[in-house]
Structure formats: C-alpha cells, structure tokens
Amino acid sequence: MRTTEGKGGADVKTAGDAESVAVLLAALDQVEVPERWAHGFHTYPAGIHPDAARLLVGHFASGPVLDPFCGGGTVLVEARAAGFPTYGLDLSPTAVRVARARTATPDEPTLNRTRSIARALTAEARAARDVSPPETVARVLATWYAPHVMVELEVLRRGIVAVTEEPVRVLLEAAFSSILVKTSFRKSDTSAQREVHDRPAGTAAVLFHKKVRELGRRLTSYRDAVPAGTPEARIRIGDAREIPRNVPLSLVLTSPPYPATYDYLPLQHLRRVWLDDDNRGLEREIGARRHWRDGAAAARRQWASDTIDWTASAARAMAPGGRLVVVIGDGLAPAGVVETLGPTRDAAHAAGLGLLASASVYRPDHARGTGRWEHALAFEKPR
C-alpha cells in the first residue's frame, strides 16, 4: 500500500496497477454534479457521482454491466449510454422506479402522450376540491401535507395509477415521486424533521407538470446519446446476495450502502404510502444504521458477512476476466469508525477474485471534527 499526499493535502492510499489506480483516484475526485440527462432528476441519497460512473464504466467494462445496489440508477444511466446491456437490482421500490425512469429512452409519441396526460391531470388537480386518499392513508399523511396539497396529489395519483401504458406510467410515477417530499412538511429526503410551510393552491399540480416536462427534455437528450440498438436497461427489485446468473457480466460496478450511515427503509416513508410500495424487502437492507443500535459488534459482523455473501454472488455472475468495482466509504457509527477497505478486499479474495487496484482518499469532516476514508477497489475474476 502506497501512502501519498493528494490534491489539497488530502491523504491518499493506493495499491496495484498504476493505470487502474489513476482511474480509481479520478473517480473518487469528482465533485461537480453535471446536469446531464436524467441524473439530477429525482433525489436519491448517497448516489455515486455520474462522472465517476462514466470513468469506471469506460475503463473497466467490455460487455454487460450490473449494479446490484443500483439506487437511483447512476451507474445504469452511464452503462447504457456507453452502449452496454445494463442490469440493475435494488431492494427498494423507489430506487427501481427512479432508475427505470432515468434510463428510459421513450420515443416521441410516448413522450407526447405522457405530456398530454400530465397536462390534463394538472388541470383536474387544480380544479379539485372534495377528493381525499383512502381514510387510513389520509390519516398517516395528514401530519405531512396541507389539506389542499393532499387533494391535488390524490387526484394526480389516481390518474397515474389508471394509466395502462407502462412506459407512460413509469415516467408519470417518477415525476410524481419526485415532488412528494418537496410538497410535504418533511425537511428533506434524509431528514424526517417536520417544517410547516405555506404552499399556495395549485403549487403541487403545477410542480408535477413542470417535472414531467423536465423529464421529457432530459430523456430526449439521453435518447440521442444512447447508441442505436442498445437494449433497454433491465432493472428489478432484488437482493444483491441473490444475483441472477442469466448473462455473464463483464463488470459489476456498485456503491453498496456505507455501514451505519443510512436507513433506506424509513427514508422512503412518504413515497411508500402514496404509491402503495411493498417495502418489506428493505427490512433486509445491508449495513442499515438501525442495526448498530442493537449492538455495534454484532452489526459489524453481520455487515461483514453480508459483504461476503453479495460479493460471492457477484463473482458467480461474472464472466471469466470480468471485473468487480466497488466504491465504498467507512461508516461513522456511534461507537466509532467501521472500516470497510479490509472486509471488502477479504470478501473479494474469498470469492476468488484478484485485486487489480485500490485507491483510498481521506475526507475530513471539519464541522464535526472527524472524517472518513472513501475507497474505490477493482478486482478481476480469473480467466
């Protein structure tokens, strides 16, 4: 392991093949989020950086690409734009919905129908008065929405779920999902703090319409970028520890949950209620912060064992000569730092993969007087 001083005096540790190290370091170095395609369309916590995904796909892929913790689909957007067959898995229905919409390349008639349904629903929502979600749902949501906002959202929701043409419904649902936190009293996706504010009548409906048009513009430019003949991305709800082995993968590129960092399950509470998502799969999420509340040692052991399981599952699905690239940060648990470099490397070795290169960058958190390492590791399956 080499230790050097990186940009701005940051600590950097590297190992392995120099060319791969340079790519991994460049991937860890991305800060500015580009306004490219539908990357920025819908918030999704802890996304990999789009330019990092682009660099890593460009260097390590030569055929089918999978992200088994695909989240909002950043890796998938880039893999498809590079012309590769693209696959995604995630336990979260919100993630799958967002990733499907972001990787879509609808034709012009589909986009036109989507826009025209959105226009009609917006008008209906603005005119509506006595509409309410089913009572059980309304009771839960009453804490989070002003009554007139709830009426508008319910009209939109009813209209969207009635759309039978799937490609159109996928886009409308993603646009609807994208406004559910902004129109609520929830502070943000990652903070469940309640902040009451005034939204004039019609705001939610107009915002929905705006988001549909925005998605249409973003996907039009994406469609122009995806090479002709590239298959649609195949994204479904599933567990990274049980990766299907239908297609030998040239690259598994992923940013798994950082241990003790988020609870993805409660983050999507509002979306689950509105869209009737079955989030039970997320009870099995890897590395969730809540696991650390019941005991740090057991949570750490469970995370390491889950890491072994998903890595072995990825290795089985890879083609000989295929690569696994993992971007992961150390966890900051209440009881201390959860180191991720060693366990990630050990899991890959246990799965029979050889290390090509690794790069780690220290990210100081001056505000909290702490910091954490972030790592990018590349492995190869023997031929």
Ligand X SMILES: C[S@@+](CC[C@H](N)C(=O)[O-])C[C@H]1O[C@@H](n2cnc3c(N)ncnc32)[C@H](O)[C@@H]1O
Where do the H-state alpha helices sit in the chain? 18-28, 50-60, 74-81, 93-102, 108-127, 135-141, 147-161, 166-179, 203-225, 264-267, 269-275, 289-293, 296-317, 341-350
State in angstroms the smallest separation of the CB of 277 from ligand X: 12
Considering the rule CB under 6 A, would residue 264 count as an interface residue with ligand X?
yes
Which C-beta is closer to ligand X: that of 60 or that of 69?
Answer: 69
Which C-beta is closer to ligand X: that of 45 or that of 63?
Answer: 45
Instruction: Pick the piece of the chain touching ligand X (CB under 6 A) from 87-95, 137-145, 151-159, 365-373.
Output: 87-95
DSSP helix/strand/coil, 126: helix
State in angstroms the smallest separation of the CB of 96 from ligand X: 9
Residue 233 dihedral angles phi and psi, to the nearest 5°: -70, 140
Interactions with ligand X, residue window 27-56 (CB under 6 A): 44, 46-48
Considering the rule CB under 6 A, would residue 255 count as an interface residue with ligand X?
yes
Rg of the chain taking only CA atoms, in angstroms: 21
Are 326 and 344 in contact by the 8 Å Cβ rule? The answer is yes
Instruction: Pick the piece of the chain touching ligand X (CB under 6 A) from 17-25, 88-96, 214-222, 272-280.
Output: 88-96
Which C-beta is closer to ligand X: that of 74 or that of 110?
Answer: 74
Instruction: Pick the piece of the chain touching ligand X (CB under 6 A) from 71-79, 112-120, 215-223, 343-351.
Output: 71-79
Which C-beta is closer to ligand X: that of 14 or that of 74?
Answer: 74
Distant-in-sequence, close-in-space partners of 116: CB < 8 Å, separation ≥ 6: none
Residue pointed to by tokens 């059980």: 136
Rounded distance between C-alpha atoms, residue 225 and residue 220, angstroms: 9
Instruction: Pick the piece of the chain touching ligand X (CB under 6 A) from 90-98, 170-178, 183-191, 312-320.
Output: 90-98
Interactions with ligand X, residue window 91-130 (CB under 6 A): 91-92, 95
Binder of ligand X out of 72, 159, 167, 259 (CB under 6 A): 72
Considering the rule CB under 6 A, would residue 16 count as an interface residue with ligand X?
no
DSSP assignment of 138-192 equals HHHHTTTS-HHHHHHHHHHHHHHHT---HHHHHHHHHHHHHHTTTTSSEEETTEE
State in angstroms the smallest separation of the CB of 181 from ligand X: 16
Which C-beta is closer to ligand X: that of 42 or that of 157?
Answer: 42
Rounded distance between C-alpha atoms, residue 136 and residue 12, angstroms: 52
Rounded distance between C-alpha atoms, residue 120 and residue 242, angstroms: 42
In order of 157, 300, 318, 373, the CA distances from 152 in angstroms are 9, 44, 47, 45
State in angstroms the smallest separation of the CB of 95 from ligand X: 4
Interactions with ligand X, residue window 216-245 (CB under 6 A): 239-241
State in angstroms the smallest separation of the CB of 327 from ligand X: 8
Give the residues lining the site for ligand X (CB under 6 A).
Answer: 44, 46-48, 68-69, 71-72, 74, 89-92, 95, 239-241, 255, 257, 264, 284-286
